[in-house]
Amino acid sequence: MIRFENVSVTYDGAAGPTVRDVDLTVPEGELVLLAGPSGVGKSTLLGTVSGLVPHFTGGTLRGRVTVAGRDTRTHKPRELADVVGTVGQDPLSHFVTDTVEEELAYGMESLGLPPAVMRRRVEETLDLLGLAALRDRPIATLSGGQQQRVAIGSVLTPHPRVLVLDEPTSALDPAAAEEVLAVLLRLVHDLGTTVLLAEHRLERVLQYADQVALLPSPGAAPLLGAPADIMAVSPVFPPVVSLGRLAGWSPLPLTVRDARRRAADLRERLTEADHADSGDRADHTGPGDRADHADHADRADHTGPTDRRDRTDHTNPADRADPETSVDPEDPADPADHANPKDPADRADDVDRSLPPAPAPPRPRFSPFRRRPRPSAPSAPSALTTAVAPVATAAPTTPVAAVEARALSVRRARVQALREVDLTVRAGETVALMGRNGAGKSTLLNTFVGLVEPSAGTVRVGGLVPHRTPPRELVRRAGLVPQEPRDLLYADTVAAECAAADRDAGAAPGTCRALVSDLLPGITDDTHPRDLSEGQRLTLALAVVLTARPPLLLLDEPTRGLDYAAKARLVAVLRGLAAAGHAIVLATHDVELAAELAHRVVLLAEGEVIADGPTAEVVVSSPSFAPQVTKILAPQKWLTVAQVREALRREALR
């Protein structure tokens, strides 16, 4: 149905081709998943199918792409509109009209179909996608999942034979993602539509794919094959495959169900391992603790949020030690390690070790010991250490809450966004906020940084009322990385961005740049923030926020558009920050991320807290929020592959 013959695409001004020598055939009626790390040209390849690459984007396409026998060289996108339906990453930028029904009809109007046919197909599509109740609704009032379904419906009505989707589920909560995928599956089964889709969250789509096309690295030729075969060699894989590889199952399981049926002996082994060390693990709740514990059993108690007795109260300047002691004398701070981003797991350990539970040094604002400017050369001691160490706020016995909300309610435009929310996050604690699109997660985060004023109840961030605190003051208490990290970045080079961040935060010049070099090695000063990848941009925004050293760090949907490697790096960085005493609150749809990071999970529904407890307890009891490993190994409470690997390793040693 779709044939790529020796396709290479080179954008204008690019040094080399974005995709090279792609030779692929996507057979009719199959659902083919295009997988691969960020930046290998998945979106470009998808664009060539609809003809938008190169007709719309510019650049040079070598080779030939044919769709249903039509050559995209001679057919413009509008002339392919009747055979190819394309849905991009952001459904909102796809809509031309205001209401659902008109949007569904738009494509057919352009093709000039007779009114009677249009009417029939609109009704059919409304039923097929379960949109009948929404037919007259303005599109702007729909939820993310509904919008995504409307976007798919709007390209379905002209009855295209090929559907091309770029990350159709990345912005959706787990339930909405299931909804969209069920629709795609139905199209493939009932209408014989050929579907080509790219997705980072393989755990959501892998089980539905007939074949996987893997782009292993930029410029490498793609591999097409059965999902199990491709997953055996793929650099990107979901947790179920990771567990399968760990347990040595062959062929690899692709679904939770497959894996469960094979996991009987693994569960047995883990039970033994669990019994063996249940004694010394009793007091740990967070998954991060579990993993850490294995590596550094001697310092495990430092990571517990309530156990930090050795920190001084930051409100008392007299108690503070010299700032230089914040750099652990034993810090390995091996520059080679920091410069080497290849193994996120190693980095995680490295960051962990370099972040000692040091006494809190003064904040520059109140202190006579103003921090000296640090050289930004990579040989300097980890800038991360200096940035994150000084945030400890725990008092000797009663830990100070980084943020405390009491009976918090927010009403906006006749909608009750939050209802009587009680939430306390202590220093060193990582909390994941979960819930469906529109449940109030972002509103809650915005309330913490004073962007939204509560209509009832109280919020205190480090003792201050956020919406009455001047921004310059507030950035030292709480930092938010918004859903679109680009919003935080104004300058046209990384260096200028960093200089501005230092000024905004009142930090010593070079602070932000040192953080960037640490979190994101290999970024040159003159890079434009727009040219960074999604993950790099997020990390830059994170560095900008961290420049003010806020004890409370908030992240809104941090893993949208990140591949597994970028996600692992983010996890490592955030673990390090939590260990150094930052309180972290993440709003996320990514259950795997929550399982990796969070000590606590708070579930929101319609603005109310419906569950609040340790990650293991909350997610295990929920079918849609349980990570794959939990589902596979239930009733045992394992959350991540790393935990399982650790338990097995320790069992083997014994």
- For residues 501-540, which are near other proteins according to CB under 8 A? 501, 504-505
Q: Near other proteins by CB under 8 A, which window of 235-243, 449-457, 564-572, 641-649?
A: 449-457
Q: Is 496 in the site for other proteins (CB under 8 A)?
A: no
Which lies closer to other proteins via its Cβ, residue 141 or residue 217? 141
- Residue from 1, 4, 42 nearest 23 by CA: 4
The DSSP code for 225 is E
Structure tokens at 540: 């830059």
Q: Please, which residue, 72 or 640, has the CB nearer to other proteins?
A: 72
Quick check: 454 binds other proteins (CB under 8 A)? no
Kindly state whether residue 196 participates in binding other proteins, applying the rule CB under 8 A: no
Q: Report in angstroms how near the CB of residue 523 gets to other proteins at its nearest.
A: 19
Of 88 and 238, the one with the shorter C-beta distance to other proteins is: 88
- Please select the residue that binds other proteins; options are 44, 48, 50, 285, rule is CB under 8 A: 50
Angstrom distance (rounded) from CA 160 to CA 2: 13
Question: Applying CB under 8 A, does 345 fall inside the site for other proteins?
Answer: no
Among residues 27, 60, 78, 621, the one that binds other proteins under rule CB under 8 A: 78
φ, ψ dihedrals at 431, nearest 5°: -120, 130
3-state secondary structure of 563: coil
Q: Shortest approach of other proteins to residue 465 CB, angstroms? A: 15
**At which residue do the structure tokens 């597994």 appear?**
564
Q: Structure tokens of 116?
A: 């009677």
- Selected from 71, 98, 319, 617, the binder of other proteins by CB under 8 A is 98
Q: Give the footprint of other proteins on residues 539-558 (CB under 8 A).
A: 544-545, 548
Q: How far is the CB of 223 from other proteins (least distance, A)?
A: 28
363 secondary structure, DSSP code: P
Number of H helices, E strands in the chain: 26, 19
108 binds other proteins (CB under 8 A): yes
Handedness of CA 572, 637, 176, 433 (dihedral sign): negative
Output 46 or 209, the one with its CB closest to other proteins.
46
User: Is residue 343 a contact point for other proteins (CB under 8 A)?
Assistant: no
Regarding 2 and contact with other proteins (CB under 8 A), the answer is no
Angle at 174 between CA 626 and CA 98, to 5 degrees: 165
Which positions from 571 through 630 interact with other proteins, judged by CB under 8 A? none
What are residue 643's phi and psi, to 5 degrees?
-65, -45
* Residues 127-146 within binding reach of other proteins (CB under 8 A): 133, 136, 138, 140-141
Task: Confirm if 200 and 567 have CB atoms less than 8 A apart.
Answer: no
Q: Are 512 and 501 in contact (CB under 8 A)?
A: yes
Piece of the chain touching other proteins by CB under 8 A; list 46-54, 196-204, 574-582, 629-637: 46-54
Q: Which residues of 187-216 are buried (b: 16+ CB within 10 A; e: fewer)?
A: bbeeeebbbbbbbbbbbbbbbbbebbbbbb
Stretch that binds other proteins, among 113-121, 201-209, 402-410, 638-646 (CB under 8 A): 113-121
Q: Where does this chain touch other proteins (CB under 8 A) — which range of 79-87, 172-180, 203-211, 581-589?
A: 79-87
Q: Which of residues 263 and 417 has its CB atom nearest to other proteins in the complex?
A: 417
- CB-based burial label for 470 (10 Å; 0-12, 13-18, 19+): exposed
Q: Outline where 298-406 has alpha helix (H).
A: 335-339, 344-353, 383-388
Residue 309 burial (CB count, 10 A): 12
CB of 428 to other proteins, least distance (A): 23
Q: Which of 32, 45, 67, 118 binds other proteins (CB under 8 A)?
A: 118
| Interface with other proteins (CB under 8 A), residue from 18, 38, 72, 86 | 86
C-alpha–C-alpha distance, residues 569 and 38, integer Å: 13
Question: For other proteins, which residue of 30, 39, 106, 245 counts as binding (CB under 8 A)?
Answer: 106
Distance CA 484, CA 89 (A): 13
Q: Judged by CB under 8 A, does residue 195 bind other proteins?
A: no
Of 111, 395, 508, 634, which one interacts with other proteins (CB under 8 A)? Answer: 111
DSSP-assigned letter for residue 99: B
- How far is the C-alpha of 2 from the C-alpha of 194, rounded, in Å? 9
Nearer to other proteins, 141 or 621 (CB): 141
Among 35, 52, 184, 259, binds other proteins (CB under 8 A): 52
Q: Which of residues 152-171 bind other proteins (CB under 8 A)?
A: 154-155, 158
- State how far the Cα of 641 lies from the Cα of 636, in Å rounded to an integer: 13
Least separation in angstroms between residue 463's CB and other proteins is 18
Backbone angles phi, psi at 124, to 5 degrees: -60, -45
Q: What is the footprint of other proteins within residues 463-482 (CB under 8 A)?
A: 470-472, 474-476, 479-480, 482
Interaction residues for other proteins, span 272-331 (CB under 8 A): none
Residues β-bridged to residue 352: none
Judged by beta carbon, residue 382 or residue 446, the one nearer other proteins is: 446
